[in-house]
Structure 1
């Protein structure tokens, strides 16, 4: 009986180990795929959006001319002269912020204007806008913060300079895309809203 018991014990042990391995029991923790945190998931989504934006065809001057600017995005009143805080300087309405933050239809942002580094523009100029050398005529566009994937519809306003030059963004747009008003922020600029 001992001659039979030893092989049966070995077979039973082998089957037990195989079953445990299939169930993931007894495995070191680093071999189990970790569940990504919300921040990691957002970072992954932002990277995927940036990669998709990089694959967009470049917009031409004719494409830009065909998309009119949206006056609603720049229709906020000027802030009061005594305004000192971001909240007081940002005179956009809840409806305007909601419209600017609404995701664009895929066809609306199918043309890339490029990537630019944006700094805070004049905080006393109301509305959602980006002054950039990436356009030659005023048009409607969208900026996407490459660091976090948040985006905003904006009015693109031309400024002189090479396409590689920096841009200036309105306070409401910077707040909406989660950009620091004291830092330079790299944004993807697309045509349409």
Structure 2
């Protein structure tokens, strides 16, 4: 009598093939990290370039080398936090750049900023936490990557919009100017 032995790797390989097939038909696909605005709302590169960044938003001193807590790493002043939390001036227009998933950027880089592939030049903008509606004025800083790539946000901005420092936060990004 002949016995057939099944290798322990066969079930694992079968499961891998099954899951890859699910990916090919659209099951278990990760959501895009960025959504672009509707085509009629697209913002031109010239419109972005015409809005100068606000140096006040990034003017905070670097944290001391021994800083370990959120409070010690966030060197922005109360006046800077109030200015960043204030709504855009009525004469300013906001243009939606898109929605991105932001993680905490380097906590040692001071000021209110968002490093994002949604812009190609440094400019003034605003981020709004989609979970709670809280927003912050920020300097939008370009980074390489596809428009669907994620973004990195400063510690002061994350704190101001009450985003978790350890989770990914979906934010709406607008050009202010």
- The TM-score with structure 1 as length reference comes to 0.70
Q: CA offset at residue 110 of structure 1?
A: 2.5
After superposition, the CA RMSD in angstroms is 1.8
Q: Return the alpha-carbon distance in structure 1 between the equivalents of residues 142 and 80 of structure 2.
A: 22
Counterpart for residue 133 of structure 2: 149
- Counterpart of 1:93 in structure 2 is 77
What is residue 64 of structure 1 aligned with on the other side?
Answer: 48
The SS at the match of 1:59 is coil
Q: Which deviates more, 159-168 or 109-118?
A: 109-118
Shift of 1:192: 1.0
Alignment check: 8 A CA contact 1:109 1:190 kept: no
Structure 1 residue 62: Cα displacement: 1.0
How far did 1:57 drift?
2.3
1:165 aligned onto 2:149: yes
1:116 aligns with 100
Q: Which runs of 5+ in 1 are unaligned?
A: 1-52
Larger % of strand: which?
A: 2
Q: Aligned residue pairs: how many?
A: 141
CA distance in 2, matches of 1:114, 1:147: 16
Q: How far apart are residue 185 of structure 1 and its match?
A: 0.3
Q: Determine whether 1:186 maps to 2:170.
A: yes
Mark the CA change 1:109 to 1:152 in structure 2 (over 3 Å): closer, same or farther: farther
d(CA) in 1 for partners of 2:99, 2:147: 9
Q: Following the alignment from structure 2 to structure 1, what is the Cα–Cα distance between the partners of residues 93 and 163? A: 21
Once residues 133 and 78 of structure 1 are traced to their aligned partners in structure 2, the CA distance between those partners, rounded to angstroms, is: 25
Which of 45, 59, 65 aligns to 1:81? It is 65
Structure (1/2) with the larger helix percentage: 1
Q: Which runs of 5+ in 2 are unaligned?
A: 1-36
2:32 paired residue number = none
**Native 8 Å contact 1:131 1:169 kept in 2:** yes
> Which has the higher Rg, Structure 1 or Structure 2?
1
State whether residues 108 and 191 of structure 1, in contact with CA within 8 Å, keep that contact through their aligned partners in structure 2.
no
Kept after mapping to 2: 8 A contact 1:144/1:189: yes
Write out the 4+ residue segments of structure 1 that deviate beyond 2 Å after TM superposition: 105-110
User: For the residues of structure 2 that align with 1:130 and 1:187, how far apart are their CA atoms?
Assistant: 10
